Amino acid sequence: MERLGTGIGWRPEIADAVERMPGIDWVEAVAENVCPGHLPESLRRLRERGVTVVPHGVSLGLGGADRPDDARLAALAERVEALGSPLVTEHIAFVRAGGALTATPHLEAGHLLPVPRTRDALDVLCENVRIAQEALPVPLAVENIAALISWPGEEMTEGQFLYELADRTGVRLLIDVANLHTNHVNRAEDPAKALAELPLEAIAYVHVAGGFERDGVWHDSHAHPVPRPVLDILTDLASHVSPPGVLLERDENFPEPAELERELGAIRRALEAGAVERVKAEVRSAGTALAVRRAETGPTAPLNSGAPEKATGPRREAAGALAQRKADRPDAEAAGRHDGAGRGDEDGAVGAARGALGLPHPGGDGARQRVGLAQAALLSALVAGTPVPEGFDRVRVGVQARALAAKRADVVAKVAPELPEILGTDYRTAFLAYAQTQPMTDGYRRDALTFAEHLLSAGRPGDTAVRRELREWWLERSGPSPRSRRPVRRLARATRKVLLRR
């Protein structure tokens, strides 16, 4: 595994500060925000200095029921090539649902939502990961996500789910310790148990980020300082393994560069504390093993004689549980290593041959359809106001729905900053009311246009001059081609706007 070192998430708002920060070995950039033909000058300069840049995707939806979109995979591969990256990362999440597979309306979440930890979902995820691996020019690593809600009827813990995913596909893992803390608060999941169940050798690097707690719910905001519990989880991880890389994420509410440098210092100290514990454990383990062997074979037995030391404690228990599950279902495990989702009774050799020839697997869409229907029902409840599916915590689903609507309003304000300027203080109230009945079916730019159409069709805003300005904005962007840029036409439109404001 390539050693990356200590890094920080590159964002345009802190680009200059990142370039000047001491001790930055690498950066991570959101893949969808990078244009391969027009790389930001800051990223170019970092690359020229030998700083590694890793693209981090957010829109593939590898945990969704549909197979990964070819165009999205090609776009991600383009960014890998443009940045000269040694690996690329994405998320274990679904971001859209519905469509032809389930014969339900297509819906976009605009957010990373958790995958149910079931056999069906794991089969679908494994096949999607394999498709992505084939399409990408460098190794893929996938990230565990934070969640506000839990799926009913889950069959595995997070650690078990990640272990089997890595075991069946060879994919690397991006472990976000902040997300482990989030799931500890929101879902009562033990981060130490999750770490004990992970295949540590599969870790590509680690994310560290901040958040905040409100009404007993932890929000993974990436806009607040890294809290002590997150650093403690990082130390626990480092006490088991030296991660190839660690990265600080910050997406909003950027502090002064000195504060970011202090957070990076705290991360380094947490890693050092874990390394000290790891060395102590190795010394204790070696001493115990030597004492046992001397008792068995006499005092002259060399330290490295005999069988290698076995795992102990939580890691031994986790390994034993995983081995037992594999023993209970050897046929399914063998098939899972070679095929896509839903193979029925095919053995591994037949399934592998089908995969090599690009042939479909019998009943291969059964698991996809089951997962798709479940995800569509949940996403519809979150963004379209339909009833909450049975088994979910209705209060938590409500919290998640409000969080999605708020995020949607924030992102639309960023991609279409003219809307808050035109609508003023009424923007947010109007958008949240719109979001309650109008789910997002495409990207955020299309959502901004649909929001404007929604207001105009209802005769809003009430102020005639503001409504005309909104209509002008909508006309400028909604046609099949941009409106004329000829100086005479532009002057006429500008004059009309000035007159309308009087």
Mean pLDDT by 10 residues, the chain (502 residues): 92 96 97 94 96 97 97 97 97 96 94 97 98 98 96 96 97 98 96 96 98 91 96 98 97 95 98 96 82 71 47 54 52 41 42 42 75 97 96 96 95 95 96 94 93 95 95 87 58 62 55
DSSP 8-state class, residue 424: T
pLDDT at 337: 39
Distance CA(332)–CA(342), nearest Å, equals 10
Residue-level length of the chain: 502
CA-CA distance, 124 to 336, in Å (whole number)? 10
pLDDT at 488: 63
Rg of the chain over CA atoms, in angstroms? 26
Residue 379 · residue 97 · CB < 8 Å = yes
Q: For residues 382 and 397, what is the distance between their CA atoms, to the nearest angstrom?
A: 7
Q: Minimal CA–CA distance to 181: which of 141, 215, 240, 231? A: 231
If phi > 0 it is left, if psi is from -120 to 50 it is alpha, else beta; for residue 385 that is left
What is the model's pLDDT at position 330?
Answer: 46
pLDDT value at position 300?
55
- 52 and 31 in contact (C-beta within 8 Å)? no
Give the DSSP H/E element, type plus range, for residue 29.
strand 26-30
Q: What is the DSSP letter of 206?
A: E
User: Which candidate, 190, 260, 188, places its Cα nearest to that of 224?
Assistant: 260
Q: What is residue 282's predicted lDDT score, i.e. its pLDDT?
A: 87
- Residue 133 CB contacts under 8 Å (≥ 6 apart), including other chains: 139, 140, 169, 170, 171
CA–CA distances in Å: residue 76 to residues 65, 72, 485: 20, 6, 33
Residue 136 CB coordination number (10 Å) = 18
Give the amino acid at 68. Answer: P
What is the Cα–Cα distance from 358 to 236, expressed in whole angstroms?
43
Asked if 46 and 81 count as a contact pair (C-beta separation under 8 A), the reply is no
The full DSSP string for 263-275 is HHHHHHHHHHHHH
- The enclosing H or E element of 140 equals strand 140-143
Task: Give residue 82's pLDDT.
Answer: 96
> Could you identify the residue written with the tokens 């339909």?
386
- 130: tokens are 């394999």
* Strand residues in 36-139 grouped as ranges (E): 52-56, 88-91, 94-99, 104-113
The C-alpha angle with vertex 319 and arms to 313 and 321, in degrees rounded to 5, equals: 105
Please choose, from the candidates 41, 45, 68, the residue with its C-alpha nearest in 3D space to the C-alpha of residue 57: 68
CA distance 355 to 41: 42
Q: Count CB neighbours of 257 within 10 A.
A: 14
pLDDT tens digits, one per residue of 28-60:
999 999 999 899 999 999 999 999 999 999 999
In whole angstroms, give the CA distance from residue 264 to residue 268.
6
State CA 110 to chain mean position distance: 12
Name the one residue in this structure whose structure tokens are 């300027």: 421
Query: Can you tell me the distance from the alpha carbon of 361 to that of 356, in angstroms, rounded to the nearest whole number?
Result: 11
How many angstroms from the chain centroid is the CA of residue 79? 17
pLDDT, tens only, 294-314: 777 765 555 454 444 445 555
User: pTM for the whole thing?
Assistant: 0.83
DSSP label of 328: H
Query: If we measure between CA atoms, which residue out of 242, 239, 309, 312 comes closest to residue 278?
Result: 239
CA dist 174 and 203 (Å) reads 6
Provide the Cα torsion 447, 450, 451, 456; round to 10°: 170
The CA distance from 261 to 18, in Å, is: 10
pLDDT tens profile 436-492: 989 999 889 999 999 999 999 999 999 999 999 999 999 999 876 555 556 666 666
Q: Which two tokens stand for residue 140?
A: 């893929």
